[in-house]
Homo-oligomer: A and B are copies of this chain.
């Protein structure tokens, strides 16, 4: 775009990082929830309170391998004066038809098996002779090795209180309790609880499908031969990986040449599988900035919220940025600058929060901390720009890695954090406390 005189409105004014982020988060709506099988719901946000349909455990059951007994029958039992009980059979986990334990009787019972009617407590097998009549034992003989112990006599060497080694019905959760609240992120323990109460599916917001494409006629696929003037496409690989890290299902379309029509039709093709489109490159003020050219005029101009807005941000790296929506479903699109470091920092600041907002997560941002700057000399930062410097951060100390150049992808690969230098700061002395974004 070229004008006869400097313009002070629209895309020529500088927007702050916070303004841009606010606009993105105001426009991005959480995806519509769907019912997913538990394994597919991992990492997703639950959209409904889940109530407990059946108490857990669903029945009184044994917490030990041992014998189900009546308390009076083992009262006063000791090593010297064991109680001798008639074994009336086995109760295994999962068994439905239960024995009745009468006075003077015991049933061999396994961990998790229902406490049989008549029994009041469980004595662990280690407190008995295991029915062998030869003193205390350490375990049971496997059932498959012989059924002889399911009858006969067992000696019990210790007394037991009522309910000893019995897990009461409903002691974990009760029918009607709320198991999980809407908004819970489903990690392994939450999936455990849902499965335990019999829920094979969960109503969650799905992972967003993110289409990543880079633009630039200079871009060559890694592994191919590099000719004069060409560089390898790294952005589409890096941002696809970063989108996955953020929780998305990411599709790497790869590099598109600097041709507005090709780019427009490629993006339109991809919309069918996109909840969010991310492009890199072509957003600056150059004559070949095809993303800007291709997308400045998309969308129905009569309809609010359609079309891509290109802006200059008061940040370094990452000054030129585009954001808006595209296609019949108003799919959000973020157009990032093409320098690898600019695009990665822009992803962290704008795309990652957008992905997490689509997922319905409350906490969309990377954690930040404050740390003391360790450096040989003062950091310099352009006035009026918020600067993000690659750094390593440990134990309250943060050290810059590499320089400020937006092409220093090698330094990025050795950083674990970004130092944030505010807009009004032009120099940061070593020893100063600074804000740090932890890249995790």
- Whether A201 sits at the interface, judged by CB under 8 Å, is yes
Q: Mark A171-191, 1 if CB is under 8 A from B, else 0.
A: 111000101100000011111
Query: Bound state CA distance, A293 and B110, in angstroms?
Result: 15
In the assembled complex, the Cα of A190 lies from the Cα of B340 at a distance in Å of 12
Residues of B within 8 A of A430 (CB): none
A132-B4, A238-B188 known; A228 and B96 CB under 8 Å?
A: yes
Which of A23-31, A363-371, A407-415 binds B?
A407-415
CB distance B94 to A217 under 8 Å? yes
The docked-state distance in angstroms from the alpha carbon of A7 to that of B143 is 21
Provided the pairs A188-B242, A217-B92, A228-B96 are in contact, do residues A193 and B286 lie with their beta carbons within 8 angstroms? no
Find residues 114-136 in chain A having any chain B CB closer than 8 Å to their own CB. Answer: 114, 125-126, 130, 132, 134-136
Complex CA gap A138/B320 in Å reads 13
CB atoms of B93 and A187 under 8 A apart: no
- A282 shortest CB reach to chain B, Å: 10
B110-A287 in contact (CB<8A): yes
Instruction: Please state if A57 and B216 are interface contacts (CB–CB under 8 Å).
Output: no
| Contact A240:B198 (CB < 8 A) given known A57-B407, A216-B93 | no
Within 8 A of B (CB), among A76-126: 90, 92-96, 98, 108, 110-114, 125-126
> 1/0 per residue A241-266: CB within 8 Å of B?
11011000000100000101000000
User: Would you call A432 an interface residue if the criterion is a C-beta within 8 Å of the partner chain's C-beta atoms?
Assistant: no
Q: Mark A299-329, 1 if CB is under 8 A from B, else 0.
A: 0000000000000000000000000000000
Q: What is the bound-complex CA distance between A242 and B192, given in angstroms?
A: 10
- Residues of B contacting A152 with CB < 8 Å? none
Q: Given A143-B288, A144-B260, A232-B197: A42 and B410 within 8 A (CB)?
A: no
CB distance from A384 to the nearest CB of B (A): 15
Compute how far the CA of A407 lies from the CA of B140 in the bound complex, rounded to whole angstroms.
Answer: 22
Shortest distance between the CB of A117 and any CB in chain B (Å): 12
The interface bits of chain A over 270-304 (1 if a CB of B lies within 8 angstroms of the residue's CB, else 0) are 00000000000000111111101100000000000
Give bound CA distance, A121 to B131, whole Å. Answer: 95
Q: Is A151 an interface residue (CB 8 A)?
A: no
Which chain B residues lie closer than 8 Å to A344 at the CB level? 188-189, 192
Q: How far is the CA of A144 from the CA of B259 in the complex (A)?
A: 9
Q: Is A210 an interface residue (CB 8 A)?
A: no
Copies of this protein in the assembly total 2
Q: Which residues of B sit under 8 angstroms from A187, Cβ to Cβ?
A: 241, 245
Scoring A221, A235, A238 by chain B CB atoms within 10 A of each residue's CB, the highest score goes to A238
Q: A333-348 vs B: 1/0 string, CB under 8 Å?
A: 0000011100010000
A56 sits at the interface (CB 8 A): yes
Are A200 and B223 touching (Cβ within 8 A)? Answer: yes
Chain B residues, CB < 8 A from A227: 96
Name the B residues within 8 Å of A191 (CB-CB): 234, 237-238, 241
A111-B405 contact in complex given A193-B410, A228-B59, C-beta closer than 8 Å = no
Give Cα A191–Cα B322 distance, bound, in whole angstroms. Answer: 24
A93 to B199, CA, bound (A): 55
Asked if A428 lies at the interface with its beta carbon under 8 angstroms from chain B, I say no
Residue ID in chain B nearest A181 by CB atoms? B414
Contacts of A110 in B (CB 8 A): 286-289
Known pairs A2-B138, A93-B229, A139-B285; list 6 more (Cβ under 8 Å). Answer: A6-B135, A54-B226, A94-B258, A197-B222, A199-B223, A201-B223
